[in-house]
Amino acid sequence: MEEETVQTAVTNAVSGMNIEGMFSNPPEWVQTAQELLTKFGLKTVAAILIFVIGRWVAKLLKNLLQKMMERAKVDAAIVGFTVSLVHAAMMIFVVLAALGQVGVETTSFIAVLGAAGLAVGLALQGSLSNFASGVLILIFRPFKAGDYIEGADTAGVVKTIHIFTTTLTTLDNKRVIVPNSKLMSDNIINYSAEGKRRLDLVACISYGDSIDTAKAAMMDELTKDERVLKDPAPFVGVLAMNDSSIDLAVRPWVTVADYWDVFFTLNERIKKRLEEEGCTIPFPQRDVHIYKED
């Protein structure tokens, strides 16, 4: 009897709730929730899709750009910096697109980013110029580590090439750090790029000495030195006829690594050989004639 009484009470309560009326005329908060879901639900889903797909595309383009730069043998420092910068720019674009999809006003964000970029650019104008020059150096490679170069009012062996500066070591072992923008805005003389250099030596003999004998002696000294290259062939010829001497040009070719050793060695050997051949190295002289009046 008690169970039947409970069932009857539940039945009467359910029938009194008017369920059909609740679905046909839902409460106000339910209607508001339905409107919000209808209005923002699809936009939220679209924003999520934009973010997920955009992130995937950004990663794909990042890897593609990295492979292309590595295939072109671009310096690793440039590859890492450029790839990271491009990926960050693409992700900012994706995030702004996703926020715009859900109704967030992105104009102010873009204005703030633009103003910040302008301020940073003005503050780092010199550094950005050095960076751009460093990128050009690493891409076009007018010189590399180990080359002996002259530029920006200095000369030395290139030790390291960085994004903003290039470090040189002079012949007397001084370290010189040169801004890349200064290097790229001036002439660059690369003494090591071709692999071989010509020595420009001058030997002087007097007018009473035999030119043929002096030339043969110097050519013999050049031939005996194994460091002197056969191709291009060395050359000895008359350079100038001065007031007190005949100047002979001595032009051997050597590798870059042997340049200074051969330079000093040949100067010494030529001097000694000319003395052996009886040639004299004249000093500047003047003939003074004294006339005595009658």
Q: Look-up: residue for tokens 């990271």?
A: 84
C-alpha span between 88 and 62 (Å, rounded): 10
pLDDT value of position 17? 47
C-alpha span between 23 and 18 (Å, rounded): 9
Residue 232, preceding bond cis, omega within 30 degrees?
Answer: yes
Q: Average of pLDDT values for 12-22? A: 48
Q: With 50 as the cut, is the pLDDT of residue 32 above it?
A: yes
Q: Average of pLDDT values for 276-293? A: 81
pTM of the model: 0.59
pLDDT: which is higher, 253 or 85: 253
**CA–CA distances in Å: residue 191 to residues 52, 91, 136, 143:** 53, 45, 20, 10
C-alpha span between 151 and 159 (Å, rounded): 15
Digit-coded pLDDT (tens) for 150-168: 998 999 999 988 888 899 9
